[in-house]
Chain A
Amino acid sequence: MSLFVIVFYGLLIAVSCLTASYRRHDVFMATFSLTLICFLIGLIGGEPWLKRIAIGIGIFLAAGGIAYSFRKFLSLLLPRDAARLIRTAPLTASFGLFVILVYLVAAIFAPIIAPYGEADVIAGAYAPADEKMLLGGDQLGRDLFSRIIYGARNTVGIALLTTGIAFFVGSLLGLMAATLGGWVDQICGRIADTLMAIPQLIFALLLLSILGTNVVNLILVIALLYSPLVFRLARAVAGNIVVMDYIEAAKLRGEKTWYLIVREILPNATAPLVAEFGLRFCFVFLAISALSFLGLGIQPPTADWGSMVRDNSTLISFSQGTPLIPAAAIALLTVAVNFVVDWLLHISSGLKE
């Protein structure tokens, strides 16, 4: 038994006892079951596996610590109303906010952070990592680290633009359909239903094969395919609002449709629409990454996470994890946005009741 094993189990058991004596029963159950599982894994796999578990626990605790501190930081920094909202946020939401902030910084300051340009060939193909290249080179000898940083700008930027278009078209038509009703509503609804009857990825493949693959087509096709989903939600939310008395009153005052949409309906539909924007962003982002991974999305030499995974995937069979980093970057951002959306949905449903 090495010192590490003794300290590892000692800490786990100490935390279990502490939580038990403070009557935090659910935390105690979690820690102690973890201890028991570690006993089992330690017996089968030996010390290396225990070390991996320790690293996992460390990462988890570090993420929790960052989330906790960031929440405190925000609640002290922001004005009072926002601070009260932040203080009640779950840890997952503040972790999500922190990650989104990091991605924003990476995207905006990409040329300053990245040591090399996104298309600069500086070493041999698949060059190993050294002091100059943090993560080594890719299949053409470009710096992988720099490309990941630039990827934040390209991939996230394109996804944001696409979501923006889909959201603008979808919510505008949804609000119009709900306000005008009648045949506008019927026609928009039927078109949306038809577009949603074909799975999005398949439809995107069909359209891209016809239009040809470039970034503009990609943005337009994905925006077209995801706007019906926004339309449906906007239509449903606005449908509940247009039956209210104050809308009736505004109509009797003789207000125009545009005034009704912008001044009366939109302010009351903001919370669910913002949550929907986050949710749609996740789906659009995943769809664009998937198409880029298939070689039909963002084209080289633009650095993009989806195509980086595919281009470097041969490294996996040599037991190297580097191609997983851009994929993990996609997953981390989507998780972060989802955490924040979960919290927003919780707030907006809480306000309704």
Chain B
Amino acid sequence: MIGIIKLVAKRLGFGLVTLFIVSLIIFWAVEALPGNLAEQVLGQAATPETVEALSKEMGLDRPAFVRYIDWLSSALQGDFGSSLANKRSVSEQLEPRFFNTMFLAGLAAAMSIPISIILGVLAALWRDSIFDRGANVVTLTSISSPEFFLGYILILFLAVQNPIFPSISNVSEGMTLGERTFATMLPAITLTLVVIAHMMRMTRAAIIALLASPYIEMARLKGEPRWKIIVVHALPNALAPVINVVALNLAYLITGVVLVEIVFVYPGVGQLLVDSVQKRDFPVVQACCLIFAATYILLNLLADVGAILSNPRLRHPK
């Protein structure tokens, strides 16, 4: 038991170090800008006096590493400074959008995880049948399509030609859960379609690798019925790879969200990020990147910890 805690703690520590390095990269990438940040912000209006005044206001006259520590410690307390474009607090803009993005990703995850695991297990069971080959072609097609292609197809068929769902996901704070789910349905379906394909292929591969192991063959030779082999022998051992697959795909979902939010004009973090990149509003870009990267690292970490917990062999690395 102590061994597990030690291993998990080690993994967590490693994740924290990664996150720290990532925060360094995000901060220093902006530092590497040619000239002074204040010059960049002022653009045409940059005279030596205005640049100096703005530098002072933004605290640019202090050394970079002091500003980095300042930035990181206030970011940890949830304060990302204020936007260059509209002078509003970044955290204030981020908070409702972060909730919206999590809601969208959560809805997509809730729809895609059960479907893809069931389909993946079925494809592994009926390997090389027409169902498996058909599923292979369909999932490959859906992985290969850009998210915006799927999104616009759904808008065309489910919002314009047959007006079932709204084509623009206009969510606001006063909505009930039902209204919100309805408005978020099309982007969630788009994400689901992409993620299902990934998750189903990975689940299928994991289960096939499992079905080739000797104890499954033993069970088959004993004459056990097929469902019993799957439910009693294969599924408990499939838990580890499946947990891994789910966590990795949730991490993928986090980045897929950016494009989908743009297509459906969904007020989430991804949309804010793209807007700020176009406006070159660095504090907002940094904050959004830090949030996305942290979520991504956290989910990858969960995948690792889940794998360690559910597979005893990983607890004793050679």
Which A residues fall within an 8 A CB radius of B? 26-27, 29-30, 92, 193-194, 197-203, 205-210, 282, 286, 289-290, 293-296, 306, 309-310, 313, 316-319, 321, 323-324, 327-328, 330-331, 334-335, 337-339, 342
Contact = CB atoms under 8 A, between A and B. Distances in A.
B174 to A, nearest CB: 26
A198 B144 contact: no
A209 B144 contact: no
Contact of A197 (B21, B276, B277, B278): B21
Interface stretch (B89-97, B134-142, B176-184): B134-142
B152 A206 contact: no
Given A29-B130, A198-B22, 19 more contacts: A26-B129, A92-B137, A198-B289, A198-B296, A199-B254, A199-B255, A199-B292, A202-B289, A202-B292, A202-B293, A205-B289, A206-B277, A206-B289, A293-B259, A294-B259, A310-B148, A316-B156, A316-B167, A323-B152
B115 interface: no
The 4 closest A-B pairs by CB, nearest first: A334-B144, A327-B149, A331-B145, A209-B277
A198 B255 CA distance: 10
Nearest to B251: A199
Given A296-B277, A324-B149, A197 B140 contact: no
A172 to B, nearest CB: 23
B92 to A, nearest CB: 21
A256 to B, nearest CB: 34
Contacts of A296: 274, 277-278
Nearest to B292: A202
B134 A331 contact: no
26 contacts: A26-B130, A30-B130, A30-B134, A194-B21, A194-B25, A197-B297, A197-B300, A198-B25, A199-B293, A200-B255, A201-B259, A202-B255, A202-B289, A202-B293, A203-B289, A206-B26, A290-B259, A316-B155, A316-B156, A318-B160, A327-B152, A330-B145, A330-B146, A330-B149, A338-B140, A342-B140
A209 B40 CA distance: 12
A273 B156 CA distance: 40
B304 interface: no
B292 A209 contact: no
Contacts of A327: 145-146, 148-149, 152
A319 B146 contact: no
A239 to B, nearest CB: 16
Interface string B114-155: 000000000000000110001001001101111111001101
A294 B276 CA distance: 12
Contact of B293 (A197, A208, A331, A335): A197
Nearest to B282: A209
A282 B144 contact: yes
A307 to B, nearest CB: 11
A55 to B, nearest CB: 15
B18 interface: yes
B251 to A, nearest CB: 8
A289 B144 CA distance: 12
Contact of B273 (A202, A293, A323): A202
A324 B157 CA distance: 12
B14 to A, nearest CB: 10
B33 interface: yes
Contacts of B18: 193-194, 197
Interface string B4-40: 0000000000000010011001100110110000000
A205 B274 contact: yes
A309 B148 contact: yes
Given A331-B145, A331-B146, A334-B145, A209 B280 contact: yes
A206 B290 CA distance: 10
B258 A201 contact: yes
B290 to A, nearest CB: 10
A294 B167 CA distance: 18
A338 B198 CA distance: 14
A80 B17 CA distance: 56
A310 B265 CA distance: 12
B22 A27 contact: no
B22 A290 contact: no
B29 A286 contact: no
A37 to B, nearest CB: 13
A230 B175 CA distance: 46
Given A324-B156, A327-B152, A335 B277 contact: no
Given A29-B130, A194-B18, A197-B297, A331 B144 contact: yes
Contacts of A207: 29
B161 interface: yes
A85 to B, nearest CB: 21
B25 A286 contact: no
B292 to A, nearest CB: 5
B262 interface: yes
Contacts of A203: 289
